[in-house]
Structure formats: structure tokens, C-alpha cells
Structure 1
Amino acid sequence: MFDPTIYDNLKTVLEGALYEKDFAGAILVTQRRDLVDLATLEREFIMGFQERDHETSQAVDEETPQLKGNVVAQISLRAPLHELAGEILELQAVEELGCELIIAYRCTIFDPERFIPPVVTMLEQLWDGRLLIVPILSYPYGLQKKQFSVEFQCSFQRKIGELQIPDFPLLVQLTIDSLTQINRLYPQL
């Protein structure tokens, strides 16, 4: 038997918080990945989800969840080898160890100059400036009509440890609130 690592504990709490929101009908979990990179021995847990559309779901079919908007949210939790080794081999104090948590929002747009600034402003306000928000823009070369993929990568720029576990319900709720706000901005921009 082994003791779970900080990563294992954070992953379990994060996964539970997201599935609770899924079961409550607020979101639909569309992706779950639990990865181990054998080259770097890094662990990564990813859950992606979208906002549910309750009005359309009830009108169409209660068994088939309808999604609201085109924005996908994703929460990633990463533990690099030096963090895992530091904990398992007791090389560092537990308080110094942790994981990287990244929140991302993805969608396809046609006018980045009009869409990106208001979304960044809204995210900064909703999260009270606690996140570093980096919009990443890409597009396929050669298309007549430019269709851009945009990803808003949001990070805390610090390690997340077991002391932050009580904050996970709020973190998940703010992530969903941000998703809802981006979906509201999406058709207008």
C-alpha cells in the first residue's frame, strides 16, 4: 500500500467537484484524460466540459444533453517529476510541493481583435486579477475566410497544494461562471 501524493489528492477532489456539477446538470463533461509521460515521468489530469442548455434539452429530448455555446472549458492539473520525487523521497517540505493548475477556454472565432480584449477584461474582473491570462491564436494557412482558433490559458503562476483543496468548489464555480460569460459574449462579438 502507498500513500497518495498531493497530485492524487488534488486530482480526486477536482474530479469529484466537476462530476458533481455534471450530475447537477450545470455542465457536461466531454473529456477526461489521466496521463503519465513515460519520458519525463510527468503526470497530467485533464477534464474538459461545456455548458448545458437547459431550455433546448427539455424541448428536444431529456436523454440527450444539449450544449450551450461553442466554448469548451478545460482544467488541467500537472505534477512534474521533481515535485513527485520531492514528495515521495521526502526531499522537500510538503508545504513547498504542489501541482500546476491551468484553466483554458477554447473556441473558434472570425474577428480576434473584437473578441479577445473583452474576454480578457471579463476574465480579469471575474477572477479579481488572480490569474495570468494568455490568449493564444492560431489559424489554418491558406483559407479564404480566416477562421481563428483561440485559447485563453489561465494560470495562477504558483503551485497548488493540499492547502488549496477547500478552494476547489469556488475554483470550479468560477470556471463555470467564466464559461457562461464567454458563451454570452461569443454570439455578440
Structure 2
Amino acid sequence: MFDPTAFENIKVVIEGDIYDRDLSGEIIVIDRNDWINAAKLSRKYEISFTKKGYDPGLLSATMTIEAGLENLSAELLESVDAKQLAGCLVGISFSLVHQNEINIFEEVQKVLTEIWGEDRAIRQTVMLEALENKSPIQNDVKVAFNRLVYEEQIDDLSEMVHYMINSLEKIKKIIL
């Protein structure tokens, strides 16, 4: 019998939680990608959503999980030394469009630090028209955990979805 990998188990739980919230009308799933890289023997899954009633072109959230060859082999080989690699990388990101004003960047940083904690690396990257210094701009915000997530922490991932929704609500108040 096939024993699913940590990546597969985590993906199924995340996907189920997010689609349950979509079916209840709390959020709207706007994109989903599931990649297998045959050259590097890696997997990547991402799912994006926004709150019901929000414009997905102006504000959305994405959860990404990734597992590389080292993660899969650590799990399948089950050596004691490799067990620490038998997990996935999880990333959270937000895409928002807002005016190019420093106070908005500072408020977004402050709110996300309050929600996700001081230990998280929160990075804002801006895209704008280089020859036209006009607003609004596209701000891609990444919340990095800089560690692997293991199957034993699956329940924490459902809590992360709640934090993502809370983040969307607070960011919307800032960018409007």
C-alpha cells in the first residue's frame, strides 16, 4: 500500500481547510498550482485566496509548500540522521496594491509582525513602472519561517490559514 509523503499529507490538509472555508463563503480561492519538477525531483504547491467581497486584484494571500529531493529521500530512507529533513518548507505571501506612501509600508510591516510574531522575516518587495513614478504600486509581502514544517505540526497549518485571513482583514483597513 502507498504511504503518502509528508508533503502529500500536508498538502491535503491545507487544501481541505482552505476549500472548506471557500465553500462556507468565508474566502474565495482565486488560484491553485501544483508543480512537479522532474529535473530536480521536487514538489511545490500553492493556493491563493482572498476574503469574500474583496477585489482579488488588489488584495490576496498565498500559502506555498515545497519539498525537495533531500526532504523526500530523508523520509523514504528513514535514517535517524536524515529525519530532521523529512518535512516541507511553508511560505506565506500577500499581494496588495496601494499608494506608494512610506506610512502604508510601515503599517503593513507593523500589523504583520503583530500577527505572525517577531521571529518571522517579513519582506516587502515593490513593483512599479520604472519610467512613471505613479501610484498605485504592487507590493508583494513574504512571511518566511526559515525552518521545515513536519507532519506532527499539521494542526498548526490550519491555524496559519486563520492568521492569513486575519492579515487580509487588517491589511485592507490600511490600504483603503
TM-score by length of 1: 0.85
Alignment of 1:1-80 (within 5 A): 1-53=1-53, 67=55, 70-80=58-68
Residue equivalent to 1:158: 147
- Residue 157 (structure 1) shift: 1.2
Amino acid at match of 1:179: L
> 1:185 is paired with a residue of what secondary structure?
helix
C-alpha displacement of 1:169: 2.1
Tell me the distance in 1 between the aligned counterparts of 2:42 and 2:144: 18
Q: Indicate whether 1:89 and 2:77 are aligned.
A: yes
Q: Secondary structure at the match of 1:142?
A: coil
Cα distance in 2 for residues equivalent to 1:23 and 1:35: 24
Distance 1:98 1:143, change over 3 A: same
Write the distance in 2 (CA, Å) between the matches of 1:116 and 1:175: 18
Verify the 8 A CA contact 1:71 1:107 in the aligned structure 2.
yes
Q: Secondary structure at the match of 2:118?
A: coil
After the TM superposition, list the runs of 4 or more consecutive aligned residues in structure 1 that deviate by more than 3 angstroms: 66-69, 91-96
Matched, 1:185 2:146: no
Structure 2 segments unaligned to the other structure (5+ residues): none
Instruction: Give the TM-score normalised by structure 2.
Output: 0.90
Structure-1 separation of matches of 2:121 and 2:133 = 33
Query: How many angstroms apart in 1 are the aligned matches of 2:129 and 2:38?
Result: 31
* AA matched with 2:13: V
Answer whether contact 1:17 1:168 (CA < 8 A) is retained. Answer: no
Superposed CA RMSD = 1.9
Counting matched residue pairs gives: 175
Partners of 1:39 and 1:142 in 2: CA distance: 38
How far apart are residue 143 of structure 1 and its match?
A: 2.3
Indicate which of 85, 88, 102 corresponds to 2:91: 102
Instruction: Read off the aligned partner of 2:5 and give its amino acid letter.
Output: T
